[in-house]
Amino acid sequence: MHDETSFSQEHVILQDVWRKAHSMPNGWEVACKDEATATRMRFSLYNAVKHFRSGKYEADAALILAMKECSISFTPDKKGLIIRKKVLSGMLPSLVALLGGMPKSTQELVEEEHAREFAKRMSKEIAEDKPEISQKAHNYGARS
């Protein structure tokens, strides 16, 4: 685990840019004043997470996902960056469209399976555990 003071404030901000971009459905476009600034920004973003990628420090879950699932590319005019999930770049958007949307993650599929199993167990327990209703309960408060 890393000590928060071991990273500069700049690194902490840049790491948070990774997290934020990952949380945005269509990614995040960062405008820069020129191509040189965009190049430095891209280098800085990768530099801010290199110690986590190499295993020198342990990253939080959000940063791990962002590093695994996001890529950084230049805007068409090269004066900005686009940080987005890899599945939103290249040929993958076309494939996602053909599938009718993003496929579920393994974790989501496992959670759904657990929920189905739980529902089956509960239904079975309810069916097997029919409470006996006494005649008194039916007659309680009944008027004759």
Give residue 75's pLDDT band: very low, low, confident or very high (50, 70, 90): very high
Distance of alpha carbon 7 from alpha carbon 56, whole angstroms:
13
Query: Among 2-11, 47-56, 135-144, which stretch is predicted with the lowest mean pLDDT?
Result: 135-144
Q: What predicted TM-score, i.e. pTM, was given to this entire model?
A: 0.58
List the helix and strand counts (H, then E) for the chain.
6, 3
> Over the stretch 98-121, which tens digit does the pLDDT of each residue have?
777 666 655 666 677 778 888 888
pLDDT score recorded for residue 142: 57
The pLDDT mean for the chain works out to 80
* Separation of CA 131 from chain center: 44
The residue whose two tokens read 């685990």 is: 1
**51-84: string of b/e by CB count within 10 Å (b at 16+)?**
bbeeeebebeeebbbbbeebebeeeeeeebbbbb
